[in-house]
Structure 1
Amino acid sequence: MRRLGSVQQKIPCVFLTEVKEEKSRKREFQQFQVVATENLNPVALEADVYSAFATEKLDGTCCYVTDYKGHPYLWARLDRKPNKQAEKRFKKYQHAHRSSKGFTWNVEDDFKMVPETWIPAHRVKHHNSHPVPDEHGHIPGWVPVEKDNKQYCWHSSVVDYESGSALVLRPKDDDAFLELAAVPLVKLREQTLELIGTNINGNPYGLGSKKQPIHCLVSHGSIRIRDPPPVDFQQLWAWFQENPEGRVEGIVWHCADGSLVKVHRHHLGLTWPEKETLFGGRPVVIRVDETSEEFNLSKDLFTSFSRINGQRFSRIRDVQFNPERIVHFDHPDVSPEVA
């Protein structure tokens, strides 16, 4: 599959948007909604969205793999945000002008401190050697995920730096089913991925449980929309509402020039998550081989998956580590196995 664009910045909506003074469906404490109009965003038109590659937008938290201490490392998303005084000034300006255009930041004084290891995301503009905030008043960036940082414990659970591996969920055999595998971090270098699982964003895909939490990474752009609807407001709305393939959080279009545009169900006034998500219902096979000489069993999650290596599940939400479980697999091309 061709290499698709990485997610380093906030992705614009495929439609022009407007702000409605109604409580947000997406964010509990937000007293306004950003909704799509029926007019296509000029950015999408310029990038020829009609010829773009449509992929599923997954509901997790964004990660990045790049070098740290001379080795490929997983990095967590950390946007640098304004302090209380600057945020108040910014909101007041936005309310008065209905836009953030023309607002002046003092980057040295207006923003909260970040760890010394923090780096700005790609394409963040700079002025006088300082990164410039985006239209939302944030400076997108990354921090390396280290073993002893409790704030990123779920990120840390999906990587083993001693073996140089990460737990990745990816399509196999022309998307017939998914494979959860231990993938060398070096093969993920400069990719962005979505961390999903039990303790991420309310776990819309039903992975694991409190007793046995399950987390994994999914490379951005790897989960294609098999028969995407036309890029049209009404047809997209109907697809999300009526098509079984539309039980997804949203669509991200990867354009030929590297641009990314998206639509989220909330942009169209629709709810998320669905009770039964399309992704959570996909079949999966486990490929985490404990017999590999390079594999290090110091990670609980890696160890747990290695014990069910080769086991197949009819839905990823059914994955569990009970060795007595009989596994049923519905795909005709893959035989069922007994654990």
Structure 2
Amino acid sequence: MRRLGSVQQKIPCVFLTEVKEEQSRKRESQQFQVVATENVNPIVLESNINSALATEKLDGTCCYVSMYKEQPYLWARLDRKPTKQACKRFKRHQCSYRSGKGFAWNVEEDFKTVPETWVPALRVEHQNGQPVPDEHGHIPGWVPVEKDDKPYCWHSSVVDYDARLGLVLRPSAQNEDLLEITTVPLADLMEQTLELIGTNVNGNPYGMGSKKHPVHILVAHGSVRIRNPPLVDYHQLTSWFRDSQEGRVEGIVWHCNDGTLVKLHRHHLGLKWPDGDTFLNARPVVVYMESVVQEYDNTSKDLFTSFARLNGHHFSRLRDIQFDPSPESPI
């Protein structure tokens, strides 16, 4: 299987976009709406979109696996953002020009400090040794997730640095309709980006876990394929999102053969998200922890141990996973 594109920066829309004078459906503070037009983005045609791989855009927070302290580490997304004063100037520019392009930044003075361990994302442009903000006024970047790191406690719950493992959700190799929760060596995820989804991320659109027993999991970008996706046509895609069961997703990300990534979000089409149950929750899931089930102490309360206790159990959907006694059904 070819290595799919790593999500390091904002992904452009598959269609050209325009700005409408109405409240954003995605950002409460934004008084304008960015919507798709019916015109295909020229970069799509250059990258041969017809041969691209269409994958589900998952609603979580972006992560990255790369080296730190001489071993594979999980990194959390942390965009360096402007100070309050610089943000006001930038928003005035956006309101005047409906774009962040052309705004003059002073990176040393206009941006908040970040941890010393912060690094800019790959392919961030640099000028005079300083990373350049994108058109949204952010400098995409990453910070390593340490064990028991409170700001990133949900990130740290899905990695075991001692065993060098991550908790991953992926389609089963034997049956693509079946989702599988398992452990994967962090070394196998090197230089990949993933989405952290779960109870305390983005309002939990997938209904995972509970306040008493939060559930979080990593999903490698590009791993959840969309079979028989519609053509890249505004009306066909709108109908697919609105009317089909498979279209109950946040969006689509196309991975082109030349490495280009393009996306389409429901908000680009004026469609609500989430809107009822999601397609991810329409698929059965199995917990497969056979290779590590003996590694975790039964008295521990961490997520790895909780899933190890469920080894071999099937659930009809993600929201049905629960760590109380009597899980649904063993294999």
TM-score interval, smaller chain: over 0.9
- 2:20 aligned partner: 20
Report whether the alignment pairs 1:143 with 2:138: no
User: C-alpha separation between the residues in 2 aligned to 1:291 and 1:111?
Assistant: 44
- Cα distance 1:129–1:315, how it changes in 2: closer, same or farther (>3 A)? same
Q: Give, in whole Å, the separation in 2 of the partners of 1:194 and 1:282.
A: 18
Change in Cα spacing, 1:211 to 1:91, as seen in structure 2 (3 Å) is same
The 5 Å alignment of 1:66-145 reads: 66-145=66-145
Distance in 1 between residues matched to 2:242 and 2:231, nearest whole Å = 15
Classify the secondary structure of the residue corresponding to 2:304. Answer: helix
Change beyond 3 A, Cα 1:157–1:217: same
Q: Which residue of 2 aligns with 1:301?
A: 303
Q: Distance in 2 between matches of 1:77 and 1:167?
A: 18
Change (3 A) 1:41 1:186: same
Structure 1 Cα separation of the partners of residues 184 and 158 of structure 2: 10
Is structure 2 residue 272 aligned with structure 1 residue 279?
no
Partner of 2:328: 326
Q: Indicate if the aligned counterparts of 2:80 and 2:140 stay in contact, CA closer than 8 A.
A: yes
Task: Give the whole-Å Cα distance in 1 for the aligned partners of 2:24 and 2:285.
Answer: 34
Shift of residue 291 of structure 1? 5.0
Change (3 A) 1:230 1:109: same
Structure 2: segments with no counterpart, 5+ residues: none
In 2, the alpha carbon distance for the partners of 1:133 and 1:258 equals 22
Residues 79 and 140, structure 1, Cα contact 8 Å, conserved in 2? yes
The count of residues paired between Structure 1 and Structure 2 equals 329
Partner of 1:229: 230
Q: CA deviation at 1:103?
A: 1.7
Post-superposition Cα deviations, 1:90-144, rounded to whole Å, max 9, x if no partner, equal 1222222333332211111110000000000000000111101111111000000
Which amino acid in structure 1 is aligned with residue 181 of structure 2? L
CA drift of 1:294 comes to: 5.8
Partner residue, 2:178 = 177
The aligned amino acid for 1:40 is: V
CA contact (8 A) 2:8 2:140 kept: yes
Matches within 5 A, 1:260-275: 260-275=261-276
The residue correspondences of 1:213-252 to structure 2 (distance < 5 A) are 213-252=214-253
CA 1:50–1:305: 2 relative to 1, 3 Å: same
Tell me the equivalent position of 1:199.
200
> Aligned in 2, Cα 1:290/1:52: closer, same or farther, shift over 3 Å?
closer
Task: Please say which of residues 273-282 and 64-73 is displaced more in the overlay.
Answer: 273-282
Aligned-pair identity in percent equals: 69
When the two structures are superposed, what TM-score results if normalisation uses the length of structure 1? Answer: 0.93
Asked if 2 retains the 8 angstrom alpha-carbon contact of 1:58 and 1:194, the reply is yes
Q: Distance in 2 between matches of 1:157 and 1:234?
A: 41
Name the SS of the counterpart of 2:246 in structure 1: helix
Give the whole-Å Cα distance in 1 for the aligned partners of 2:62 and 2:156.
14
Gaps of 5+ in 1: 328-336
Normalised to the residue count of structure 2, the TM-score between the two structures is 0.95
Instruction: Say whether the 8 Å CA contact 1:308–1:323 is kept in structure 2.
Output: no
Q: Distance in 1 between matches of 2:201 and 2:14?
A: 26
CA positional deviation for 1:292: 5.5
Change (3 A) 1:326 1:136: closer
Amino acid at match of 1:186: A
Q: CA deviation at 1:324?
A: 1.5
**AA in 2 matched with 1:318:** D
Partner secondary structure for residue 274 of structure 1: coil
**CA RMSD for the aligned pairs?**
1.6
94-103 vs 291-300, which deviates more? 291-300
8 Å contact kept, 1:163–1:296: no
Q: Distance in 2 between matches of 1:247 and 1:34?
A: 21
Instruction: Decide whether aligned partners of structure 1 residues 204 and 127 sit closer, same or farther in structure 2, where only a CA change above 3 A counts.
Output: same
CA distance in 1, matches of 2:271, 2:105: 35
Partner Cα separation in structure 1 for residue 292 and residue 5 of structure 2? 34
Residue number in structure 2 paired with 1:35 = 35
